[in-house]
Amino acid sequence: MPKIAARAQEAVVEKALLLAGVLSILLVALIFAFVAKEAFPLFKNYSLASFLLGTEWQPALPPPTGPQFGLIPNLWGSFLVTAGAILIAVPFGLGTAIFIADIAPRRLREWLKALVELLTVVPSVALGFVGLVVVSPLVKAWLHLDTGKSAVAASIILAFIALPTIVTIAEDAIKAIPQSYQLASLSLGATEWQGLSRVIVPAAFPGIFAAIMLGVGRAIGETMVVIMVTGNAGLLPTHGLWYAFTHSVRTLTGTIGSEALEVAHGEPHYNALFMLGVVLFLITFALNYFSGRMLSRSMRQVRP
């Protein structure tokens, strides 16, 4: 009798979990469907080519030209601030992850982990404010810029936002490498550092790569910080990379965040903002998909 009850209970729990899983997938699919449904009416009176290849974002331009909804400046801005953030966050993040996973004494390790995870709880508005009043004036003074509202200032703040993700996942990946790898390399006469840098880290590489990709996902989706710090001008890299990096940019999230609440429903501008949302969704979806595959590969690889 108790056996039957236990089995029934198990079946119920199993079905409930399945339902929860299916629901969450369904929810994401529905969100995407809704965003797409609001986005695609844009192409009733605006061509796909002018959206994909357009270099101007001028949502209120009166006739005869009419509004311009170019994807390029938004996409470029998102790419630039994210690339900058990752360039800053990866060396720091990897260093921290390796230190926490393999080098730090146990007591210090617990402290460091807690501190890094604490970074995730700082609200991004607060970080944006720090960016506005601290980072961007400093960047302006250091690099002798005309204004601190720039891609580089945003990248620095976004690096802090991506850092905890990178550290946590990279650390897990490094820890997942069996101790025997390091012992084997030591027994072959390698130093600790050689073992770490030539055996452990390469073995953990898929996981580390996934950590970086998830960090990219965090940075590219961040909105408040970029609205406050980038200046939101739709510049293109026509004067070289460094010029672009030290000047204002406009990102996908920044455009959506500053305009979406205030646009009249059903207007082309409204649809165009949702279309930017579709692009952003596809980017983050791809990032998550590939990092998920990398992570599972890294788990498989280290199993004997």
Interacting residue ranges for another protein, rule: CB under 8 A:
56, 58-63, 65, 68, 73, 137, 140, 146-149, 227, 231-236, 247-248, 250, 258-259, 261-265, 269
Q: Cβ of residue 36: shortest distance to another protein, in angstroms?
A: 23
Find out whether 60 and 67 touch, Cβ atoms under 8 Å: yes
Looking at beta carbons only, is 258 or 288 nearer to another protein? 258
Residues 35, 124, 164, 120, Cα dihedral to 10°:
-100
Q: Cβ of residue 22: shortest distance to another protein, in angstroms?
A: 25
Find out whether 161 and 218 touch, Cβ atoms under 8 Å: yes
Both structure tokens of 245: 């990096």
Looking at beta carbons only, is 202 or 266 nearer to another protein? 266
Looking at beta carbons only, is 114 or 264 nearer to another protein? 264
CA–CA distance, 148 with 222 (Å, rounded to integer): 19
Looking at beta carbons only, is 58 or 284 nearer to another protein? 58
Q: Cβ of residue 216: shortest distance to another protein, in angstroms?
A: 25
Q: Which residues contact 289 (CB under 8 A, 6 or more apart)?
A: none
Cis peptide bond prior to 64, omega within 30° of 0: yes
CA–CA distance, 260 with 270 (Å, rounded to integer): 7
Looking at beta carbons only, is 6 or 133 nearer to another protein? 133
Find out whether 82 and 158 touch, Cβ atoms under 8 Å: yes
Looking at beta carbons only, is 269 or 297 nearer to another protein? 269
Q: Cβ of residue 119: shortest distance to another protein, in angstroms?
A: 26
Looking at beta carbons only, is 153 or 216 nearer to another protein? 153
Q: Cβ of residue 21: shortest distance to another protein, in angstroms?
A: 25
Q: Cβ of residue 243: shortest distance to another protein, in angstroms?
A: 11
Alpha helices (runs of H) in 197-259, residue ranges in sequence order? 201-203, 205-221, 224-229, 241-245, 252-259
CA–CA distance, 148 with 51 (Å, rounded to integer): 30
Q: Which residues contact 120 (CB under 8 A, 6 or more apart)?
A: 164, 165
Q: Cβ of residue 100: shortest distance to another protein, in angstroms?
A: 39
Both structure tokens of 46: 């605006």
Q: Cβ of residue 191: shortest distance to another protein, in angstroms?
A: 51
Strands in the chain per DSSP E: 57-58, 68-69
Looking at beta carbons only, is 45 or 65 nearer to another protein? 65
